[in-house]
Structure 1
Amino acid sequence: MRTTEDWSRLGGVLIAALAVATALAVLGPRLLGRAAGPEVEIISALKATEREGLSLSLPGIPTPLTAREHRFARITVRVEPGGERAEALATLDFTGTLGAIEVSSLGVERVPFVLKDGDWVPEGLEAPRLAAAVLALERRRRALEAGDREALALLAAPAREDGGGAVEVGGPELEQLLALKERRYGVSGWRLRLERDEAVVTELWRLEGTLPSRPVDQRGERRLILIRSGEEFLFSPALM
């Protein structure tokens, strides 16, 4: 028959075992990742966002780009000489929202990582290319609604060295939009295909406003192409 002291000792052993199990559950993946090298730790960090959620802050935009569902796949890791920096190459299947705008994207992603306090962490956002493309799209939408030609010009790709490729900030469709009073350029959805150096986008838009002769309420779907310029995306061959 067990005494009170025996039961107390057994209870202490059970508590200690539970503490060890909890520690392993929390620290185990990290310890395994470190033992296997940076590749496993970086892949684990990206896959963890699928459980924890993904919210991307865009400069100058108060509402984050928030995932409803996303999946990283085909992840490969390149560690730079010195072992302090690395880059993860992956495909990303994303569905989510930017405010009221539905955003879906499929394509390649390139995520820089740095070693910080013994852990591999993203240097910036977990999906920098998607964030950069959506930021360009939202800046364009706001510039169209505001009728801001200067802001639109900053989003246009420059001419190539051979003299081609320049985007004209004008044209009949843009001039008609700028002529509207009480203008509102709304977007209900962006569907993106992210390639290595460009993004192909289908935009679902609605333009509202008034002309001297009549009110305007138009809806449509248009195809846009963005090309990568450094860490940002610019529009080519047209803004509309």
Structure 2
Amino acid sequence: MRSTEDWSRAGGVIIALLAAGVSALVLMPRMLGLATGPEVEVITWLKRTESDGLTLRVPGVAEPLQGQVHHFARITVDVAPGGERAVAWATLDFKGRLGRTEVSSLGVERVPFVRRSREWVPENLAAPRLAAVVGLLEARRKALEAGEPEALRSLLAPGAPADVGGGEELERLLSLSKRRYRVEAWYVRLERDDALASELWRLEGDLPSQPVDDKGQRQLSLIRREEEFFFSPGLM
């Protein structure tokens, strides 16, 4: 029959084994990361967002771009000399919402990563090009609704003509009083150096002769300069 001392010794052994197991669970992912290298860590980080969810801060927009479902595929990772920075290239299939606007995107994403506290994390956003495109589209929508030609002109590609590129349609829109310009959906195709966006829009307001409530769909072309996007050739 075991004595009280025997039971105490056995309990101490069990507690030590449990503590060792917990430590192994905590340290194992980091140990595996060191063993497999930055490429696997970066890919694992991106793929984990598919179950954890993806929320993006859009430049110049108060509310976030909230993902509903997304998928990273064809991921390749370029590690910079020194092993502290990397860039992940991937295709991203994304569906989500910016407020009341549906956003759907498919195409090429470039995600810079940095090494912080032994872990690889995005330098800024997990989908910076998608966020930049949506930010530009929303800036255009707000400038159209506010009737601000100068703000619209700033969204055109450098070197574009001074005309904001909207023609009679833009003139009519800017002539409305009580103007409301809403977007039901943006469908985006992202390439390496440019993007194409299909916009489902609704325009409401008043002309001197009648009220206006129009709906439609248009294609917008965007080009990339560094990591920013601009409209080219026009805004409408």
Report the TM-score when normalising by structure 2.
0.92
| CA pair 29-167 structure 1, distance change in 2 beyond 3 A | farther
* Aligned match for 1:199, one of 170, 183, 195: 195
Aligned residue among 171, 178, 181 for 1:185: 181
The 3 A distance-change label for structure 1 pair 53 and 12 is farther
Q: Are residues 21 and 167 of structure 1, via their aligned partners in 2, closer, same or farther at CA, if it must alter by over 3 Å?
A: farther
For 1:155, what is the secondary structure of its paired residue?
coil
1:81 positional shift: 1.3
Cα shift at 1:175: 0.3
Show the counterpart of 2:163: 168
CA separation of 1:187 and 1:13: change in aligned 2, threshold 3 A: farther
CA contact (8 A) 2:58 2:65 kept: yes
Aligned-residue RMSD, C-alpha: 1.9
The structural deviation recorded for 1:27 is 3.6
Counterpart secondary structure, 1:141: helix
What is the CA–CA distance in structure 2 between the aligned matches of 1:221 and 1:80, rounded to whole Å? 43
- Structure 2 residue identity aligned to 1:179: S
CA shift for structure 1 position 22: 4.1
Q: Deviations over 1:139-198 (max 9, x none)?
A: 000000000111100101133xxxxx6473141000000000000000011111100011
Equivalent residue pairs, number: 235
Alignment partner of 1:152 is 2:152: yes
Cα distance in 2 for partners of 1:145, 1:178 equals 8
Q: Which is worse superposed, 112-121 or 182-191? A: 112-121
**Which sections of structure 1, spanning at least 5 residues, go unmatched?**
160-164
Q: 1:21 to 1:210 in 2, by over 3 A?
A: farther
SS at match of 1:172: helix
Distance in 1 (CA, whole Å) between partners of 2:107 and 2:15 is 48
Alignment of 1:47-66 (within 5 A): 47-66=47-66
Q: Which amino acid aligns with 2:110?
A: R
The amino acid of 2:204's aligned partner reads E
* 2:208 counterpart of 1:212: yes
> Which whole-Å CA distance do the structure 2 matches of 1:102 and 1:216 have between them?
24
2:126 aligned residue: 126
Contact 2:59 2:131 in 1 (8 A): no
- CA separation of 1:52/1:16 partners in 2, compared to 1, >3 Å: closer, same or farther? farther
Check if 1:238 corresponds to 2:230.
Answer: no
Structure 2 CA distance for aligned equivalents of residues 15 and 166 of structure 1: 75
- Would the aligned equivalents of 1:75 and 1:90 in 2 still touch at CA under 8 Å? yes
Length-normalised TM-score, structure 1? 0.90
Say whether 1:106 aligns with 2:119: no
3-state DSSP class of the match of 1:145? helix
CA distance in 2, matches of 1:73, 1:189: 24
3-state SS in 2 of match to 1:61? coil
Question: Which segment is superposed worse, 55-64 or 203-212?
Answer: 55-64
Aligned identity (percent) is 63
Deviation at 1:16, TM superposition (A): 4.5
For 1:220 and 1:138, locate their aligned partners in 2 and report how far apart those are by CA, in whole Å: 17
2:195–2:223 contact (8 Å) kept in structure 1 = yes
User: Which SS does the other structure have where 1:41 is aligned?
Assistant: helix
Identify if the C-alpha distance between structure 1 residues 44 and 26 changes in structure 2 by more than 3 Å, giving closer, same or farther.
farther
Q: Matched residues in 2 for 1:168 and 1:20: separation?
A: 70
Cα 1:23–1:220 change in 2 (3 A) is farther
Counterpart for residue 162 of structure 1: none
